[in-house]
């Protein structure tokens, strides 16, 4: 297989209810899912075999999620309000069709609208993932 079509991928925002329901962030044009990272600790000593550095795995980080949108202030006002909330909210990246999803909690840390004279209203949103993302494989 050469690849999978990303068209139809959604970034969904949880409502915090019980049971929680999710709503797609409208007019998304580009979604970058969590960028997972792991720190490493250098444990090299004078006795390390053949003078090769040695490492241990350290803390893991869920990284950031970004989404670009065709910005509509009437629709996206709730997202701007998320900047005031210091607590993580639940989100999901839902892959197209039956490919599954990636759930995580995150804090909106950046909202950058733009209004060029020769193009559409747009905005870039950046979320900081808090804790471990959960991958739910599809069929």
User: Burial, 69: exposed, middle or buried (Cβ in 10 Å; 0-12, 13-18, 19+)?
Assistant: buried
Q: What is the dihedral of CA 61, 27, 74, 87, to 10 degrees?
A: -10
Report the C-alpha gap between 13 and 45 in whole angstroms: 47
Mean pLDDT estimate for the chain? 95
Helix (H) or strand (E) holding 103, with range, is: strand 100-114
pLDDT over 90 (residue 139)? no
Residues above pLDDT 90, as percent of the chain: 91
Alpha helices, H only, the chain = 73-81
Strand order, beta sheet including 10-14 = 22-24, 10-14, 89-94, 100-114, 122-137, 64-70, 28-32
- pLDDT at position 80 is 87
Sorting pLDDT into bands at 50, 70 and 90, what band is 1?
low
- Given a cut of 80, whether residue 19 has pLDDT beyond it is yes
102: pLDDT strictly greater than 80: yes
């Amino acid at each position: 297989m050469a690849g999978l079509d990303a068209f139809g991928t959604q970034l969904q925002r949880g409502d915090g209810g019980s049971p929680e329901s999710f709503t797609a962030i409208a007019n998304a044009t580009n979604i970058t899912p969590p960028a997972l990272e792991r720190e490493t600790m250098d444990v090299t000593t004078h006795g390390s075999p053949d003078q090769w550095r040695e490492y241990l795995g350290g803390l893991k980080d869920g990284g950031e999620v970004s989404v670009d949108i065709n910005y509509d202030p009437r629709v996206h006002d709730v997202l701007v309000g998320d900047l005031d909330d210091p607590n993580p909210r639940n989100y999901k990246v839902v892959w197209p069709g039956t490919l599954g999803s990636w759930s995580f909690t995150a804090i909106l840390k950046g909202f950058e609208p733009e209004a060029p004279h020769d193009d559409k209203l747009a905005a870039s949103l950046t979320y900081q993932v808090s804790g471990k993302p959960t991958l739910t494989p599809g069929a």
